Structure formats: C-alpha cells, structure tokens
A and B are shown apart, each in its own frame.
Chain A
Amino acid sequence: DADVTQTPRNRITKTGKRIMLECSQTKGHDRMYWYRQDPGLGLRLIYYSFDVKDINKGEISDGYSVSRQAQAKFSLSLESAIPNQTALYFCATSGKTDTQYFGPGTRLTVL
C-alpha cells in the first residue's frame, strides 16, 4: 500500500462549488504539506502543518483552507472554487530528516 494517499485522484467541478481534497499517510510523520503544481511554475506551497495543533499558511493560501484531523490526515478545502484553481495538487509528509514524501496527486479542474 502507498505511504501517502490522496483522494480523489481526479475531480471536475464547477465555479462556486466547495471542494475537499483529502490526504492520508501511514509513515507516522508529524509534518504534512499541501502544494499545487502548474505547468511552468513548479510546486508552490499552500499550507503546512508541523503537528495536529499547528497550521501555517504557505506562499499561496488565499482561497484555500485546511484541517488537520489527526496526525495521519490533512485535508485541503476550496470554499468556492474558481477556474484559476485548476491545477495538480500534491500532499507531502516529512519526519525529522527533511525529506518530503509525496502522494500521487489530485488533478482538479474547475469549469
């Protein structure tokens, strides 16, 4: 089984809809991250969490919110999706060695 899983893997939605992307990990890591990837822009950090009670904004948090339900679960929400949030979204985790381990990604399309 994969160490970092993301659901759904693909999602098409309409402008204005609320969307939740979920991430689960079995690595026992405290730190979890959400990134978006856009062609030609690389990965940009949306939010990160160093433990269940710690949530921090990243480079591009506007329009997004997160919830750390447990050590193993970190959800990303788009309260009212807009077309420029169409992107590939990645969850990642890390322990104390700085290396981040990535999930397979969620491809989100907002029409």
Chain B
Amino acid sequence: AQSVTQLGSHVSVSEGALVLLRCNYSSSVPPYLFWYVQYPNQGLQLLLKYTTGATLVKGINGFEAEFKKSETSFHLTKPSAHMSDAAEYFCAVEGSGYSTLTFGKGTMLLVSP
C-alpha cells in the first residue's frame, strides 16, 4: 500500500521568499517520488522525480526536492518565489513494482507581490 500526505492545502509566500511545500509518503516498498505542477486550466506537468541514486533532485523552474528515507519525506523547495510559480502542486508516490501513482491532495501556492 502507498499513500501521500501534503501538509497545507494552501501556502502563501511573498515574491522572492523561500518556497517550501511539504510531502510525506508511506510505501511498503522502495518508493519512486514525483512532484507535479498544475497551472490554471491546464493538465499536470512533471517538476521533478526521484527514483534511485542522488537524494537531492533538481527539477525545472528552479525547484528541487530531497528524499529523506528516515523521515519518509520529499519536500519541495525553491529559494526565491516568482509570481509565475503560483499554481497547485501535487506530490505522488509509486511503489517500485506497482506501476501506478498515488497522489496527494495538492497544495495551492499563492505568491503575493
């Protein structure tokens, strides 16, 4: 079984501030972890993913995430928020061998000037 918990349905930051979106997962097998972004009226777009190897993963648009097995976490960060980062972000887990994704409920990122 696998599950994802995203802490905070909404996160508000000021432009230029640090972005931190939290994701904790549960998986009975070694997980593959993903962050997707959804801009208004669009489908989901992959930001980054962790499968194996280096635990700090860099993605598009300056985002990165770190896989911490001991904390069962995969938090998403960006050093400096831009207005264009305003969107909904989804964390997802795939237990290796399962081949289907389980998504969290999403976190809406609001960026103010």
Contacts and interface: CB of A to CB of B under 8 A. Distances in A.
Contacts of A90: 43-44
A98 B49 contact: yes
How extensive is the interface on chain A, given as a class?
20 to 34
Contacts of B90: 42-43
Chain A CB count within 10 A is highest, among B9, B32, B42, B105, for: B105
A98 B51 contact: yes
A98 B32 contact: yes
A100 interface: yes
B11 to A, nearest CB: 15
Interface of B: 9, 32, 34, 36, 42-46, 49, 51, 90, 94, 99-106
A-B pairs with the 4 shortest C-beta distances?
A102-B43, A42-B105, A102-B44, A42-B103
Given A45-B101, A98-B94, 19 more contacts: A4-B43, A31-B99, A33-B100, A35-B103, A41-B105, A42-B103, A42-B104, A42-B105, A43-B90, A45-B100, A58-B100, A90-B43, A98-B32, A99-B34, A100-B44, A100-B46, A100-B101, A101-B46, A104-B43
